[in-house]
A and B are shown apart, each in its own frame.
Chain A
Amino acid sequence: MAFVAIADRDHEQEHHDPQTFVTKYIWSQDHKVIAIQYGCTAILVGLVALVLSGMMRLQLAFPDVFSFITPNEYLQFITMHGMIMVIYLLTALFLGGFGNYLIPLMCGSRDMVFPYMNLLSFWVYLVSVIILLTSFFVPGGPTGAGWTLYPPSTILPGTPGSDMGILLMLVSLGVFIVAFTMGGLNYVTTVLQARCRGMTLMRMPLSIWGIFTATILGLLAFPALLVSAIMMIFDKTLGTSFFMPAVLSMGQALDYQGGSPILFQHLFWFFGHPEVYIVALPAFGIVSDLLSVHARKNIFGYRMMVWAIVGIGALSFVVWAHHMYVSGMNPYFGFFFATTTLIIAIPTAIKVYNWVLTLWHGNIRLTVPMLFAIGFIFTFVHGGLTGLFLGNVIVDLPLSDTYFVVGHFHMVMGVSPIMVLFGAIYHWLPKITGKMFNETLGKVHFWFTFLGTYAIYLPMHYLGILGVPRRYYANGLSDFMPASVESMNVGITVAALIVGVVQLLFLYNLYWTLTRGKPAGGNPWEATTLEWQTPDTPPKHGNWGHTLPVVYRWAYAYSVPGAALDYIPQNDPQKGGDIEEGDHGKP
């Protein structure tokens, strides 16, 4: 096998060995530094979105108290919260952050194959974030069109931020896509071409499989967002009518004619649905590794897990119109998309069963990463089950645009990936910093976050079934809403504020780790994958010292009968470490 490309490039190493503080920590080409830059930026902008959600909750619980939150601002908060969380936090942190950190380390490479492009990817991402945040300070403020940016209202006066705000949003998305494409080319090429000797595709940890497949989805799906963004910029600035129908605004006929808002919805969701899996697949992969390591057991059904990731990725391109059941589509169309949507439940259920079966009879260590991983199984199952309701056209119609939808997607693609992100950060923090975090603080953080999210999102399902509409600034008095809606909104807000404040514990724990954490050692979790076998912790530039690792087995050799330890690293040349034929599932 000729996985020698990076080895061949060893002589190039000096070319980008960092010399100064700036090239080492700021204008750095080291994938680990870039990963941390991506991670810090994403978390910072995510905190902005978290504060926005707190303000929204305050308004919903106490409608007449906070005079500084106007209806326009409420819509702007909703929009910016959604867009930041989905794109600038989750996508960037999973792929830019963990993708960057883990791919070269887990695949046994010295770096990404195009380090300079990797560097550019981060800085272009930072530019997109700055453009996005700038929109808070322009006349009219950021766009308040909802994160789906549906025309025609998005660019018409009356929608907040319909002048500068929406343009900055669209430009920022375009710049983000450029950054993502540069990063994505790197991730895919590195996985395909720069694995160390012995690291066959089917010996790769599932984290890499998740990140790799999600990157391919992103590379193929983000162009749909780019196309719709460019066409909407044309509609806004040049007066084309791609999406804009003939429309009266403030009593006056505008210059548009005949455009199709539905065309925008198709394009947007052709990106938007795969985006769910761009966020979910890395989470699936990473959580599989967390469960396996902390249950001291091989992942159950590894090959099926890989197939499920690939299958879910492929299916995610043929379900987009389930977001558009209420757009007046042909019922046969609705039937088709409901069927494809429900088919996705099969590989997803396989994954859930395999996670649970990995825990079965495992030697479970309830570490902080493990708590978050198990928490993820709960939140994901709950979010996934409500997806079955919404995937059926006839159930979706009455629930559409209610809090049921808000509860569903926050459980499935808000809380669940965030649980994995926290688990992953706690899991790899000892490798990133070389120090161990505060276990007690981590556990407090977990329990408040885990139980708190249930306190927030479970009641929302009930509100949705009552028919409480989402996106409304204030519900006012209406016959169909009992008084319990109001008190429930207060309860949700209190829970949300507590969960929000508890995240400060997480930030403090990061600070505590850096300043007071005890040295963690190279492999504190006794894990098999390559990133734990580096000669230095944190790994130095080039990762592997003089010689690249050689891989002898898969990533899940835990509790192997007859082995001296309950784990055998992938690069340990000792004989054995695999399961004998016929022994599968009986470690």
Chain B
Amino acid sequence: MSMWTLVIALASAIVVWFLLVRQLTARPWIASGDAGYSPDVEAFTSPAKKIALFVLLAVISSLFALFFTAYMMRMSPHHGSDWHSIPKPGILWLNTLLLAGSSVAMQWAKMLVYHRSGKSPQAALIVAGVFAVSFLVGQLMAWQQLHNLGDLHMSNPALGFFYLLTGVHALHIIGGLYVWARTIIRIWLGITTPSINLSIELCTVYWHYLLLIWLVLFGLLLTT
């Protein structure tokens, strides 16, 4: 479809290769000499939720890579010659800062938990959530600004893609906020198990990843 897809596919293949190659070269039919399980094979000892998150991130990567590929294919003259660049609302810069701030605050919460400072991560989590919600409000304002311009037509693919991609990204942020809200409610209820720490860690990974996707998306929007 395009180089993007191939590069991503190749990168994933290399990762999978390194993860699996040692295990895939085992010869299970050969007698090991003792009737036990072979202790020399590495296993995935990470918590299930962590593995699931990384698998989910692979799915999300596939989703956005395909959106970006479709975006660039639609831009190329082979697939239509009606691409008219649209003005980008200035508020997107502020939104980018807000999302980065949210990510920093998440990282702060994670460090509080993992350095066993004894301090509650609650404040950091709330800051992260407020920033993330502000980002969503900012995105809505960007939509409003574009809408107010009035002279743009939906059949212009640049405009359609702008709404579509920012919308899909925002939906992923909302999904993250659901887990964030669950975590913070459990902290308020006084639950302090290792699972809370894990939730915070995984939220942080997810936050950073969505920031990364936003940066790529924002770069794509700005340059086209």
- List the interface of chain A (C-beta within 8 A of B): 1-3, 5, 113-114, 181, 184-186, 188-190, 192-195, 197-203, 219-221, 223-224, 226-227, 230-231, 234, 238-242, 245, 255-260, 262-263, 266-267, 270, 298, 302-303, 306-307, 310, 314, 317-318, 320, 550-554, 556, 573-581, 584
Contacts and interface: CB of A to CB of B under 8 A. Distances in A.
B164 A234 contact: yes
Given A220-B59, A552-B37, A240 B155 contact: yes
B60 to A, nearest CB: 8
Interface string B23-62: 1111111111011111101111111100110011011001
Contacts of A270: 1, 5, 66
A5 B43 CA distance: 11
A12 to B, nearest CB: 11
A231 B82 contact: no
B36 A578 contact: no
Contacts of B52: 113-114, 185-186, 188-189
Contacts of B89: none
A235 B157 CA distance: 10
Contact of A581 (B30, B66, B164): B30
Given A266-B73, A270-B1, A227 B63 contact: yes
Contacts of B30: 578-581, 584
Given A193-B46, A580-B31, A259 B80 contact: yes
B9 interface: yes
Contacts of A240: 154-155, 157, 159-160, 164
B81 interface: yes
Nearest to A303: B27
A238 B160 contact: yes
B74 interface: yes
Contact of B35 (A114, A302, A303, A552): A552
B37 A258 contact: no
A308 to B, nearest CB: 12
B29 A579 contact: yes
B174 interface: no
Nearest to B60: A223
A1 B157 contact: no
Interface of B: 1, 5-6, 9, 12-13, 20, 23-32, 34-39, 41-48, 51-52, 55-56, 58-59, 62-63, 66-67, 70, 73-74, 78-83, 154-157, 159-161, 164, 168
A575 B209 CA distance: 49
Contacts of A581: 30-31
A530 to B, nearest CB: 13
B56 to A, nearest CB: 6
B43 A3 contact: yes
Given A189-B52, A231-B164, A318-B9, A553 B79 contact: no
Contacts of B36: 198, 552
Nearest to A200: B41
A204 to B, nearest CB: 9
Contacts of A239: 154-155
Contacts of B20: 201, 310
Nearest to B32: A578
A255 B29 contact: no
B81 A230 contact: no
Given A200-B41, A202-B23, A258-B157, 4 more contacts: A114-B48, A201-B41, A238-B154, A260-B79
B48 A2 contact: no
A188 B157 contact: no
Nearest to B160: A240
Given A185-B52, A185-B56, A241-B157, A298 B29 contact: yes
Counting chain B CB atoms within 10 Å of each CB, the highest count among A231, A318, A584 belongs to A231
Contact of B157 (A259, A267, A552): A259
Counting chain A CB atoms within 10 Å of each CB, the highest count among B12, B23, B52 belongs to B52
30 contacts: A1-B43, A113-B48, A188-B51, A189-B48, A189-B55, A193-B44, A193-B48, A194-B48, A198-B38, A200-B26, A200-B41, A201-B20, A202-B23, A202-B24, A203-B28, A219-B59, A223-B62, A223-B63, A231-B70, A240-B155, A242-B157, A245-B80, A257-B82, A260-B73, A302-B29, A314-B13, A552-B35, A579-B30, A580-B31, A584-B29
B9 A202 contact: no
Contacts of A554: 28-29
B136 to A, nearest CB: 19
Counting chain A CB atoms within 10 Å of each CB, the highest count among B26, B44, B48 belongs to B48
Contacts of A306: 24
Nearest to A9: B48
B224 to A, nearest CB: 15
A255 B1 contact: no
B177 to A, nearest CB: 18
Nearest to A239: B154
Nearest to A244: B155
A2 B43 contact: yes
B58 A255 contact: no
A194 B34 CA distance: 24
Nearest to B66: A227
Nearest to A258: B82
A244 B101 CA distance: 40
B51 A189 contact: yes
A3 B42 CA distance: 10
A267 B66 contact: yes
B29 A241 contact: no
A419 B38 CA distance: 36
Contacts of A255: 155
Contacts of A577: 31
Nearest to A198: B37
A318 B5 CA distance: 10
A91 to B, nearest CB: 16
B48 A258 contact: no
A241 B26 CA distance: 52
Given A227-B70, A234-B164, A260-B74, A188 B82 contact: no
Nearest to A260: B79
A298 B66 CA distance: 42
A2 B168 CA distance: 38
A574 B66 CA distance: 52
Nearest to A204: B28
Contact of B28 (A197, A302, A550): A302
A258 B73 CA distance: 13
B26 A201 contact: yes
B9 A317 contact: yes
A551 B37 contact: yes
Contacts of B67: 227
A298 B5 CA distance: 39
A580 B33 CA distance: 9
Contacts of A195: 43
Contacts of A263: 70, 73-74, 79
Contacts of A314: 13
B29 A556 contact: yes
Contact of A241 (B48, B51, B155): B155
A293 B56 CA distance: 35
A13 to B, nearest CB: 15
A260 B1 contact: no
Contacts of B9: 317-318
Counting chain A CB atoms within 10 Å of each CB, the highest count among B55, B81, B83 belongs to B55
